[in-house]
Amino acid sequence: MPPIMTARAKRDAPDSTTAMIVRSVSRRARRAEVPDPASASGYAGVLQALPYPAALLSFTLGTIDILDLNEEFARFDEELGSTVPQLERRAGRHFDWRERATAMFTGQRTSDRFELEFQGRLGARVFSCSLSWVEGEDGPQSHLLFTATDRTSERKAESTLRKELMTDSLTALPNRIGFVEEIEHLVEAKADTPGKAGYAIIALDLIRFSRINESLGAMAGDELIITVARRVKSVLRAGDVLARIGGNEFAVFAHVGHGLSEVLQIAERVRKAFESPIRLSTYLINVEVALGCALAQEDDEDLENLLRQAQAAVKRAKQSGTLEVYRAHVLREALKRFTLENRLREAIEHGELSMVFQPLINLQTGLVKGFEALARWNDPVLGTVSPTDFIPVAEESGLIVPLGRWALCECVQTLADWDRRHGEKLPVMMNVNLSPVQMGRDNVPRAVEEALRYAGIDGSRLTIELTESALISDPDKTRQLLGALQAMNVTVAMDDFGTGFSNLASLQSLPIDILKIDRSFVTDMMGDKDKIAIVRAIISLAGALGMQTTAEGIERAEMADVLAGLGCHYGQGYYFAKPLPSLEAYRYWIDRSSATII
């Protein structure tokens, strides 16, 4: 009896060819053609017709007897007997085909399917084996038909395909799936090691990689990725695992015995690998990388979760410019923003946001000059969400475009509704904020033109508020946008003026009508000579450039009086009114107009 073979049990039904042979052998048995085991087989013709190993088996006194076999089976059995099989443990037992046949004879099971894996003369071999009952002289379950189909090429193809699925084709490094699987095996292998070390993941992101693709082309980008992979791999230790987990993202898995200090040493070596520029064709490229790391807190740490933590740290590193170590609140913040984004998308689609309107007061006459439209969101799950929370999420996710268009349409429709209620056009304007992100991604002039046309509102009654940073980031594009708005008689206001770094030459050349003085200068101006001086300077600058001014954050009467004395045209703040729902804002205009006339 040859050595026991490795087996992987399967309970599949026999294939159609085996079933046909079973029926053929059974018919011969019923015609009393079953030969004596010692004589020439009467089944030779049937078994020899099979293109794969096959044998007819019986069971006598606890021993498997081969009644008949074909040449393929002879070679198969010889190869099994002449090699040392690679045993695979299944549920604490080792199996070969004889053990499976013995179990069939003693257990009287209907059929059996299993796999044999062994190291043959030409390398690893895999056979899919089946055992099926055939009728013999002792009854319907006295003989077994054994067949074995060579699946070696299929298993090699599967292995090759799996390797391709787990490997990045450009760098030959593990991809994200392969990385997680490989490090899971490494962690499991270390699990029973006495005094085992901890482990960490260091994530790496190439900064401004898209610029290289756009400027030099995709082939240069691929060349850069390959070079980066080589440089990082050259500074890692034996046993560290490098993977490419995204377009320009890499990750390093490392066992660390000294905690964070060892992780920082690895990260520093990676950073230094990019101190010298990379040559791409005739160009020398200085590559900047953002590094973030996460250390496993428990022995059974979820490695996929650990990788996400490292990526969250990298995101912060791109903002801070230094190595970031994951902290628990980082991922919580990322999950919060993700939830916020999904809820905001649904809110925009289902019309669940609302607008409120804060009055803009003429400081010289006390009349309502207009209203600034502000978005509000009361979510049924999250509750009231502040604009300071959902606006950045909208800008980051691209939702600011549909949100900005909705706000634009909503505010001019509200103005049209007030006109209908009043019976004539109200002498008020409507201010709406425009995000810098929307400026870059949307066709703003068309959006404004469509909103005005559908509402039946003239452009002279609309003011677009743009932040200082948005106006000066791309002066040429900004000039085109403002020119298009000016052609529709739309007023343009520079919001939060004084908090950025305006180029006065650009400011002079842009068609801006109003400078809004940031509340940080207004709120605490009383008793602060420096802030009063700044406000006076802004008002003087606006006057010299032919612009008007609006002060934000007016909270007391004396602040309004001082600003009026300095020559500021308009003001808004809680002293006049908080942001009001549509109908309350309309009544506020009526009440204020009546009181001023009287």
Which domains are present in the chain?
A: 6-157 (3.30.450.20), 168-326 (3.30.70.270), 350-597 (3.20.20.450)
**Helix, strand, coil percentages for the chain (3-state, nearest 5):** 45, 25, 30
Candidate from 79-93, 104-118, 206-220 with smallest mean pLDDT: 79-93
- Give residue-wise pLDDT tens across range 553-590: 999 999 999 999 999 999 999 999 999 999 999 999 99
Does residue 2 have a pLDDT over 80?
Answer: no
Tokens 């901890």 sit at which residue? 198
Which parts of 108-206 fold into alpha helices (H)? 152-165, 176-191
**Residue 268 CB coordination number (10 Å):** 13
- C-alpha–C-alpha distance, residues 253 and 251, integer Å: 7
Nearest to 80 by CA among 12, 159, 148, 153: 148
pTM for the full predicted model: 0.54
- C-alpha–C-alpha distance, residues 353 and 366, integer Å: 31
How far CA 375 is from CA of 263, 358, 378, 588, in Å, comes to 45, 11, 10, 19
Q: Tell me the three state secondary structure of residue 574.
A: coil
Better-scored residue on pLDDT, 197 or 564: 564
- Give residue-wise pLDDT tens across range 434-482: 988 888 888 999 999 999 999 999 999 999 998 877 766 667 778 888 8
- Spatial contact of 535 and 522, defined as CB atoms under 8 Å apart: yes
Measured in residues, the chain has a length of 598
